[in-house]
Amino acid sequence: MSRAAATLRAVASPDPSPAAPVVRLEDLLEKVARGDEAAFAEVFTRASGPVHGLVRRVLRDPAQSEEVTQEVMLNVWRSATRFDAAQGSAMAWIMTMAHRRAVDRVRSEQSATDRVRRLGGREVLPAFDEVAETVEIHLEREAVRRCLTSLTDLQRESIDLAYYAGKSYREVSELLDVPLGTVKTRMRDGLIRLRDCLGVTA
């Protein structure tokens, strides 16, 4: 987490200006399903904070919580076409996805720990499926880390603030002392760059 994001704990100043009409998250997801990057940027801003909070409560580990949050938001982009408003709200759909991913991570970590205890130091080769799954998860995490380093400082800090602090565009603008329009543009460009770097398609 960046230094700017770390200092947010000491900031408690909600935006007092009147809010503009808010587009429903359900409508935004429909646009995301059609490949609308701007709509995804707005979904990202609204949902990443709550997602990170839920994941952190389940995992407790800060580093793993950040990784799972990134994975969940990436999956929102990938699977937006599967969202069905008739089955519930958009936020409930995203939070359910986040909870499942967090629980899967807990189970994966627990399984690895149990295997080590079971083996008791014996040299036993794990099954191919276990190796393949471990490698796939590791590669996905490394890809996210690598792609984040390809962003500019402003893009990375803006996304960091939106992800882990749940800040709005205006709050990010004030915290970084950057014009609001610039923040929106940089975040959108940063998300598109992450998407392209990770090879994600709508």
CATH (domain of 148)? 1.10.10.10
Write down the pTM of the prediction.
Answer: 0.52
List, for residues 152-184, the tens digit of each pLDDT value.
888 878 877 776 666 777 888 888 888 888 888
List, for residues 71-126, the tens digit of each pLDDT value.
899 899 989 999 998 888 999 999 999 999 888 888 877 655 555 455 444 444 44
CATH of the domain at 64: 1.10.1740.10
For residue 7, is it within any domain?
no
For residue 68, is it within any domain?
yes
The domain in which residue 166 lies consists of 120-202
Rounded to whole angstroms, the Cα distance separating 46 from 169 reads: 10
List, for residues 124-141, the tens digit of each pLDDT value.
444 444 444 544 555 466
Dihedral of CA atoms 201, 95, 50, 69 in degrees, nearest 10, equals -50
Residues 88 and 133 in one domain: no
Residues 171 and 80 in one domain: no
Residues 95 and 174 in one domain: no
For residue 4, is it within any domain?
no
Residues 125 and 163 in one domain: yes
Maximum separation of any 2 CA atoms in the chain, in Å? 64
- The end-to-end CA distance of the chain, in Å, is 28
